[in-house]
Every structure is written in C-alpha cells, then in structure tokens.
Amino acid sequence: MKTKIKIKLIENYIKENRLSKNKFCKICKISLSTLNKILANKNNFKLIALFRIAKVIKIEIYQMFY
C-alpha cells in the first residue's frame, strides 16, 4: 500500500512564499532529491523529512496524510 501525502500543501507553501525548491530544501534541511521523491509520492525517503517539512509549513504531521 502506498502512503498518500498531501503534496498540494507543500506546493502551495512554496508558491505562496515565492520560494524555489532549493531554498525550501535549505529551510527544511532536506535534500532536493528527497523533496522530489516526496512530491512524486514515492516511499523511498526518510520519515524525518516529513517532520521537518511539517515544522516549516507549521502544520501537524498527521495533516500531511490523506
């Protein structure tokens, strides 16, 4: 079973704050390849990346899942 992440939350945050993917990754302290995996809804990344993203976009981790 594939985990479904609400990638629109991430995309909207990046767009609303006029950030590049690289800048967003630096703020979150994750790699660009990790962000791309998350946005492609792949499962081969470390869960800590989602916690870091949730902290930056100011939501609880459970709100990132369908």
Per-residue model confidence as pLDDT tens digits over 16-44: 999 999 999 999 999 999 999 999 988 88
Residue 65, SS3 per DSSP = strand
pLDDT for the residue 66? 87
- Give me the number of domains the chain comprises: 1
Residue 49 lies in a domain: yes
Residue keyed to tokens 């995309």: 11
Residue 45 lies in a domain: yes
Residue 20 lies in a domain: yes
Q: What residues does 4 pair with on adjacent strands?
A: none
Residue 1 reports pLDDT greater than 70: no
pLDDT for the residue 2? 65
| Structure token pair of residue 29 | 């302290």
Q: How many residues does the chain have?
A: 66
Residue 1 lies in a domain: no
Residue 8 reports pLDDT greater than 70: yes
Of the two residues 23 and 1, the one the predictor is more confident about is 23
What's the CATH number where 20 sits?
1.10.260.40
Residue 65 lies in a domain: no
| Structure token pair of residue 45 | 């990344």
Which range marks the domain in which residue 19 is found?
A: 7-60
